[in-house]
Amino acid sequence: MATATQESLIRACPSCGVKNRIPLDRLADEGRCGSCKAALPPASEPIDVGPELFDEIVSRAAVPVLVDFWAAWCGPCRMAAPEVSATAKAAAGRALVLKVDTESHPALAARYGVQAIPNFAVLKGGRVVFQQPGFARQAQMEEWIRRVS
């Protein structure tokens, strides 16, 4: 799991476990561990974000960003979670996947007109290019990303 700072995400190296600071505009890129020099793969898991980190990632991303607006009490959201994770893994390097908890961040959900969850949005260049409420499978999410790539 990655943790966030203001300008970067902290990710552990899969080879040696050392924590590495990844600039937000490089999350979709492969890098190298500062300690062991092993490859650090692009972000391949959903990133839980609040408003500040959301805005920073979306404004800096060179790739499409799939956003999952969800809540812990929502059954369809829990059903979609493995599909979202699988999409993040499959789209690593081609897209970023963010998760926004609508209970913790209702203003961010309201900014995107979220009235039903789960709700998925694909952003490119900081703008929404696709949005859909309701459960979706991995193949659908990957198709949304392909359409805007």
Q: What is the pTM of this model?
A: 0.92
**Strands (DSSP E) found in the chain:** 3-4, 8-12, 19-23, 31-32, 39-40, 47-48, 65-70, 96-101, 119-124, 127-133
Residues of the chain with pLDDT under 70: 1-6
Please report the pLDDT score of residue 149 as a whole number. Answer: 86
Please report the pLDDT score of residue 125 as a whole number. Answer: 93
Which of the following is catalytic: 13, 33, 36, 77? 77
Instruction: Clarify whether residues 33 and 77 are in a common domain.
Output: no
**Whose CA is closest to 101, among 84, 89, 125?**
84
Which of the following is catalytic: 16, 33, 36, 74? 74
Please report the pLDDT score of residue 101 as a whole number. Answer: 98
CATH number at residue 36: 2.30.30
For residue 13, the enclosing domain spans 3-40
Instruction: Clarify whether residues 15 and 84 are in a common domain.
Output: no
Instruction: Find out whether 86 and 68 touch, Cβ atoms under 8 Å.
Output: no
How many other β-carbons are positioned within 10 Å of the β-carbon of residue 105? Answer: 16
Please report the pLDDT score of residue 139 as a whole number. Answer: 98
Q: Is 33 a catalytic residue?
A: no
Whose tokens are 């812990």? That residue is 72
Q: Is 77 a catalytic residue?
A: yes
Please report the pLDDT score of residue 6 as a whole number. Answer: 61
